[in-house]
Amino acid sequence: RSLQKGVSLLESLVALLVLAMGVLGMLGVQLKTMADSQTATNRVLAARLAEDLFERMKANATGTAQPYSLSSDWAAVTAPASSARCDAEICTSAQQATFDVWRWQTTVRNTLPGGNATTFLAPSDNQQLGVMVSWRLRNTDQTGNSAADTARAGWLNVDVGGGPTCPAGSACLVSYAKP
């Protein structure tokens, strides 16, 4: 009987250890699910934002994608002069295109984490507008460093032959449309 002293306590400690490991495992799965859910949400937002620019382009009916092309430049579009703010003034098609791209790019930057966007003429068809929307991955800092998201960045990064490339540490969505 003296050999059995403390066995119940030891069994209880082992059971607590097993329970703690199970709870930590479930917590890890929950965190991974939340991260993937955020990535999916950002991807849907990026698709909706690309669709928004295409709708603006169709409403302007210039007949060409050229006025909407930023020539693969990731720089922010300069705000149009107050006389060319087409939400309050009557504008030409070219002014409307400049205003649309500025308003759209501003919306992308304000909607997605680390959001940025550019437009370009499709390498295979210069009548087709390409849109690339990028956003910073959840665990990525401003410089793009993240061990946790390196694998995820690989399948969310896209390369457009002859067009823009996705910035480092970002996920990108590419979409095309004709006016």
Q: Answer whether 130's CB lies under 8 Å from 171's CB.
A: no
Query: Residue 77's pLDDT is what?
Result: 76
Instruction: Indicate the helix (H) or strand (E) that contains 36.
Output: helix 7-60
Query: Residue 138's pLDDT is what?
Result: 67
Kindly state the percentage of the chain with pLDDT values over 90.
28
Strands 170-177 and 116-122: unpaired
pLDDT of 109 above 90: yes
Q: State whether residue 55 is helix, strand or coil.
A: helix
Residue at 83: amino acid letter: S
Rounded mean pLDDT of 104-121? 91
Residue 39: other Cβ atoms inside 10 A: 17
The confidence band for 63, taking pLDDT boundaries of 50, 70 and 90, is low
| Mean pLDDT value across the chain | 80
pLDDT tens digit sequence for 28-54:
999 888 877 888 899 999 999 999 999
174 vs 152, higher pLDDT: 174
